[in-house]
Structure 1
């Protein structure tokens, strides 16, 4: 089925669109990117826009100024120019998926909550078939469950489910990081460092959603860097599933220690030390398992 094939993320599409605007000189060097305005223009979330801009930062086309606003610093030199005026998200499933994913991860749709197809489709201005396809993708991520004749329900996790999920991650993620040590680029490591530093600078000002999303992106980046597609596809839904409860643990103060552990993993990756990277990753996951289980039981 088409839904099961790897799909390009919405932030990737937005990033390519913004890069095309730069290539067409529709945006100039020195110009600031306004995430809110671009989100309104393209009909996507600000989170998606920020992810797209981060990709441009990693490519050296955009930098953050002293006020931490993204500013164009270079134009692409090797890019096939196309007509950006024709750009639109013709596949509404992508934007519907991103919308629902963000609502779940922000806690606007909590575990056990019912998602009714028709009212939500009307609210989003999409047809029920589009909503169902997006919901199927989220079911594949382990975030939604199908309820016959009732719609969809946000998945819940019991303490046992949580422990089992971490146990499987402890088996699979060391395999991913062993390969990632060999293949992850310095650019990707720099991006992981920047993401961690940015959240540390924001401290408590950073939203729980941003901190939790940064944690998941850290692990997903390692999976991607392994170069093992099957391993990545196996781990993605497990990482997504644990996101359902990390809001609770981050509210109990887990985020600062979590990102310190990320730093030790990044350091081992930079040294191309597979043994140290694997050891630090296991420590990180075991700490997360212990803390999240306790936080969930207290919640």
Structure 2
């Protein structure tokens, strides 16, 4: 059976151009890892994945290399590419970086946000709240991750965008691992307050809210990743 690859979520569009095949393969594999369809420790064989997706091995190879650089895959002796584990220590490393970079991104977004960018933030917020209220966990996770990425985009700093891009996949995975046991209402509320600060041009407030949000989610993630639970 042919796997119909979805359009790349969050990919930039140029005119009416569709995302490239390599981008769609990358997104498909990333989502399978984030959604634990490929659990930690799963071995991915380039040839087998290409056969399953009914594509050539070239876009699969490129996607796997990209996922390895983003920390979702690791190369192990005699096993090749396997889905990387993501535990409390991995989360701690991610939060160490996020607190500073996302605080900076929020400050710059409050300074440089455009009307179009703010409308996109509002769209993501509304969609995330609807998804959370209706129990659509996967959609809520995706939209909340997109919200964070949009804040970075609104910073107007290409270097910051490049620095944060490799963290996006890990952030999505973290959100998914903790979303079934976390407070979606609280996350939406935190995002709404951050949006208001960015919209109002409150640079100090936006940075403080972003840092506080990262600190809050860090504490919650540490509890959830170390507590016994049934995987979502």
Match of 2:110 among 177, 181, 189: 181
Q: 1:88 to 1:270 in 2, by over 3 A?
A: closer
- Secondary structure of 1:115 counterpart: coil
- 8 Å Cα contact 1:144-1:155 kept in structure 2: yes
Deviation by residue 1:228-271 (Cα, 9 ceiling, x = unmatched): 22222222222421322322321113221111100000000111
Deviation by residue 1:171-219 (Cα, 9 ceiling, x = unmatched): 2111222211121112221221222223323434342221111121111
Q: 1:102 to 1:95 in 2, by over 3 A?
A: same
Q: 1:88 to 1:125 in 2, by over 3 A?
A: farther
Asked if 1:131 is matched to 2:60, the reply is yes
Identify the range of structure 1 (215-224 vs 110-119) with the bigger mean alpha-carbon deviation.
Answer: 110-119
Asked if 1:106 is matched to 2:35, the reply is yes
| Aligned-partner Cα distance in 1 for 2:9–2:57 | 28
Post-superposition offset of 1:283: 1.1
- 8 Å Cα contact 1:269-1:277 kept in structure 2: yes
TM norm structure 2 = 0.86
- Secondary structure of 2:75 counterpart: strand
- Secondary structure of 2:74 counterpart: strand
> 1:205 maps to what in 2?
134
Instruction: Please identify the structure whose Cα radius of gyration is greater.
Output: 1
| Aligned-partner Cα distance in 1 for 2:9–2:21 | 20
| Aligned-partner Cα distance in 2 for 1:142–1:50 | 19
Aligned residues, how many? 226
Q: 1:201 to 1:213 in 2, by over 3 A?
A: closer
In the alignment, structure 2 segments of 5+ residues that lack a partner are: none
- 8 Å Cα contact 1:121-1:128 kept in structure 2: yes
| Aligned-partner Cα distance in 1 for 2:185–2:23 | 32
- Secondary structure of 1:223 counterpart: helix
| Aligned-partner Cα distance in 1 for 2:216–2:168 | 15
> 1:245 maps to what in 2?
174
Match of 2:205 among 247, 265, 276: 276
In the alignment, structure 1 segments of 5+ residues that lack a partner are: 1-39, 57-78
- Secondary structure of 1:113 counterpart: coil
Asked if 1:119 is matched to 2:68, the reply is no
- 8 Å Cα contact 2:124-2:146 kept in structure 1: no
- 8 Å Cα contact 1:141-1:241 kept in structure 2: yes
Counterparts in 2 of 1:215-254, with a 5 A limit?
Answer: 215-254=144-183
Counterparts in 2 of 1:119-198, with a 5 A limit?
Answer: 119-198=48-127
Post-superposition offset of 1:106: 2.0
| Aligned-partner Cα distance in 2 for 1:51–1:88 | 12
Identify the range of structure 1 (287-296 vs 132-141) with the bigger mean alpha-carbon deviation.
Answer: 132-141
> 1:70 maps to what in 2?
none
- 8 Å Cα contact 1:181-1:272 kept in structure 2: yes
Post-superposition offset of 1:134: 0.9
Post-superposition offset of 1:130: 2.4
RMSD: 2.6
> 1:44 maps to what in 2?
5
Q: 1:189 to 1:206 in 2, by over 3 A?
A: farther
- Secondary structure of 1:111 counterpart: coil
| Aligned-partner Cα distance in 2 for 1:113–1:167 | 27
